[in-house]
């Protein structure tokens, strides 16, 4: 998905428009994750870019996209550009010396 979203539309509530945009992004991610994986891949990863325009877009992590969108809306921005490209990926194993719980013990 490569798209520029407008945050202001005549006759539409800005809050409802913002929620509709977030819903469209989440729906796209769910649809892409349902696709069949190629051999040797464990999951679908996403290369994401986000910015005020296509030229100003910077790499971003999928988990931070919603907060970035909220930030643009809070600052009063009129539009933003988002690029999300799905790619097959394989999970990397944990290093042998890493704790099994994944975090530090308290």
The predicted-structure confidence for 26-65, as pLDDT tens digits, reads as follows 999 999 999 999 999 999 999 999 999 999 999 999 999 9
Q: 18-35, pLDDT tens digit by residue?
A: 999 999 999 999 999 999
- Give me the pLDDT at residue 7, please: 92
Q: How many domains does the chain have?
A: 1
Residue 25 belongs to a domain: yes
HSE, side-chain direction, 13 A CA sphere, residue 20: 11
Domain residues for the domain of 7 are 2-89
Residue 72 belongs to a domain: yes
- Give me the pLDDT at residue 96, please: 74
Q: 3-14, pLDDT tens digit by residue?
A: 999 999 899 999
Residue 21 belongs to a domain: yes
Reported pTM: 0.80
Residue 78 belongs to a domain: yes
Average model confidence (pLDDT) for the chain? 91
Integer CA distances (angstroms), 40 to 30, 87, 88, 91, in order: 21, 12, 9, 10
The Cα 83–Cα 100 span in angstroms is 35
């Amino acid at each position: 998905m490569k798209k520029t979203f407008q945050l202001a539309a005549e006759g539409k509530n800005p809050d409802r428009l913002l929620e509709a945009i977030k819903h469209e992004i989440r729906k796209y991610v769910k649809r892409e994750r349902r696709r069949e994986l190629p051999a040797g891949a464990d999951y679908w990863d996403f290369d994401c870019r986000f910015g005020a325009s296509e030229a100003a877009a910077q790499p971003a992590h999928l988990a931070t996209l919603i907060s970035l969108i909220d930030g643009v809306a809070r600052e009063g921005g009129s539009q933003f550009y988002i690029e999300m490209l799905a790619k097959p990926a394989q999970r990397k194993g944990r290093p042998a010396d890493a704790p099994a719980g994944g975090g530090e013990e308290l």
